[in-house]
Structure 1
Amino acid sequence: MLRVIGAGYPRTGTLSMKAALERLGFGPCHHMFEVMSRPEQSALWSLTPGEGEASWDRLYEGYESAVDWPTGYFWEEVSQAYPDAKILLTVRDARRWYKSASETIFQSARMLDAVDGEEHGGAGQEDEAGATTTAHLRRLHETLLSTMWRGAFGVGADEVPDEATAVAAFERHIEYVRSRVPEDRLLVFEAAQGWEPLCDFLGVPVPEDEPFPHLNESEDLKERLGNVMRGGRPY
């Protein structure tokens, strides 16, 4: 059962937050990489999230927290399913967010549209694994990613939204979350703030002599995405 629900957009320090939450005892933490790299997750999230076989309990089975999309996109429905969970809204400067997103997640969505099973060389088990990964990624692109991209930015998942449209959507989302969640249930957080506000919000001690994790550098994310596209694990 989820105890922490991340309502922030991707590229707002979500991978760092995943590591931080797991360090504080709120793991495993769900992240978009789970969806892209775990066949059972890919299959479930390709269905209609929150309904039937893809009920929230099934989607988050085994997880105690969740950040990044798809959770951040469906945060309101998820928060209604887990009314005792804390809501964590990760934020950053909107234009810096757009630049980062343009260089990573927007490009990766376009790459998924062009994935071809022939890109996976070799033979035998590796080739079969690559073909399986390709099928999962294509299905995710056609269902989950298309739904989120059109819902958030008004464009298909194979398109990069222009800066004005994306920034407006980003800022609108932040204000909407703020307006919908009671103050005692919500933390608006930037990674530069470090451990203290997060630990205070969650009611846990601050780790001693341990810096707050900063894992989501753009080049690091590109490498992780590349691993997933090649049929591997992102970690």
Structure 2
Amino acid sequence: MLLGKHETFQTRSSNMKVISAGFPKTGTKTMTVALKTLGFNVYDYMENSTILGKDWEKIFKAGGTTEDFRRMYENVDAVSDVPPCYFWEELHKAFPDAKIILTTRDEDSWFKSLVTQMRSVESSWTLKLMSLLTPSGYLSFNILSDHCVGRVIFGLRDSLFWKPFRRVTLNELLLKLKFRKHNSHVIQNAPPEKLLVYNYRQGWEPLCKFLGVPVPDVPFPHKNKGANLVDEYLATDPIMIKIEKELMLSLATILVLCCIGGYCLFSWGPTNIWNFLCSAVEASWNKLV
């Protein structure tokens, strides 16, 4: 049975149905779009880091329980990318009926794509400013992406956003070992009847058969070609667009404050401003003592 071009398979249960356990750069963005096309409500990285950012921060720092994962995703059909792919086993304990998809690709092309992606993130001043000047960006990029995902999942010691004078060191051997260990762990520990090892080049047929849904009458998607995720997200992702608006507001506020400061400096002179600040500090100190 084929779905019409603008139709989707509508899921009904509130329990999670799909855990995409593939490591980043194995077609996770393509899988997200494919699952959305099939009618699933999907949480990818941006949804996880902004909507559930505080929960994930707590899990990385102090741990989490099965009840935590069940509460976080009680109304979500599917998850993809980090952090969920790394915690696929804990998610499956919370939702034992969910099916698991391990997206894969050959190791060398995976590493090449990962490096391209990380260099793109590392060189983006828009993301740097978002991570510093917006509440959502600070949580998503600074705390989770840098301090949690980067260090725990990939083993990076340096910051992707604020590494002065030189680029982040990407150890090819260690990163490939993490990739192999993750894939092997999923294959060895996921229930065989609930696991699909999948390459996006296989298209709709094996994916839809595994999920028990009709094949849609649309071409299979291919997202994040050439690891150009940053530009694509900035242009199209609604959460990123929201963070961009936060950044514009922050920059406008800084500009207004600088103008006020410049006007005061010009009108009062640096000596009078200094005397005013000293008097204010002295008055505050006298109140304290």
What is the TM-score with the length of structure 2 in the denominator?
0.65
Decide which structure has the larger Cα Rg and report it.
2
3-state SS of the aligned residue for 1:115? helix
3-state SS of the aligned residue for 1:18? helix
Distance 1:229 1:144 in 2: 23
Q: Which amino acid aligns with 1:22?
A: K
Distance 2:101 2:122 in 1: 25
Distance 1:85 1:195 in 2: 19
Using CA pairs below 8 Å that are at least 6 residues apart, which structure has the higher relative contact order?
1
Classify 1:106/1:165 alpha carbon distance in 2 versus 1 (closer, same or farther; 3 Å). farther
Q: Quote how far apart the aligned CAs of 1:30 are.
A: 1.1
Q: Which deviates further from its counterpart, 70-79 or 164-173?
A: 164-173
Q: Quote how far apart the aligned CAs of 1:217 are.
A: 1.4
Does residue 1:190 correspond to 2:203, yes or no? no
Does residue 1:44 correspond to 2:55, yes or no? yes
Q: Which amino acid aligns with 1:197?
A: P
| Residue identity (%) | 33
Q: Which amino acid aligns with 1:20?
A: A
Classify 1:48/1:110 alpha carbon distance in 2 versus 1 (closer, same or farther; 3 Å). farther
Distance 1:80 1:6 in 2: 15
Distance 1:56 1:196 in 2: 30
Aligned position for 1:221: 229
Distance 2:101 2:131 in 1: 41
Aligned position for 2:215: 206
Aligned position for 1:139: 143
Does residue 1:108 correspond to 2:86, yes or no? no
Classify 1:196/1:141 alpha carbon distance in 2 versus 1 (closer, same or farther; 3 Å). closer
* Deviation readout 1:67-111 (Å, 9 max, x if unpaired): 111111111111111111001000011110111111114653786
Q: Quote how far apart the aligned CAs of 1:141 are.
A: 4.2
Q: What are the residue-to-residue correspondences of 1:49-198 with 2, within 5 Å?
A: 51=64, 55-105=68-118, 108=121, 115-116=128-129, 130-136=133-139, 137-141=141-145, 143-146=147-150, 149-150=151-152, 152-156=153-157, 158=159, 159-198=168-207
Q: Which amino acid aligns with 1:84?
A: D
Query: Aligned residues, how many?
Result: 215
Aligned position for 1:124: none
What is the TM-score with the length of structure 1 in the denominator?
0.78
3-state SS of the aligned residue for 2:101? strand
* Deviation readout 1:33-59 (Å, 9 max, x if unpaired): 2134x3x3222222216737x911333
Classify 1:118/1:63 alpha carbon distance in 2 versus 1 (closer, same or farther; 3 Å). closer
Q: Give the one of 22, 45, 50 matched to 2:36.
A: 22
3-state SS of the aligned residue for 1:72? helix
Contact 1:109 1:157 in 2 (8 A): no
Classify 1:195/1:7 alpha carbon distance in 2 versus 1 (closer, same or farther; 3 Å). same
Q: Quote how far apart the aligned CAs of 1:200 are.
A: 0.8
Q: Which amino acid aligns with 1:9?
A: F
Q: Which amino acid aligns with 2:157?
A: G
Classify 1:29/1:156 alpha carbon distance in 2 versus 1 (closer, same or farther; 3 Å). same
Alignment gaps of 5+ in structure 2:
1-14, 160-167, 246-289
Contact 1:108 1:225 in 2 (8 A): no
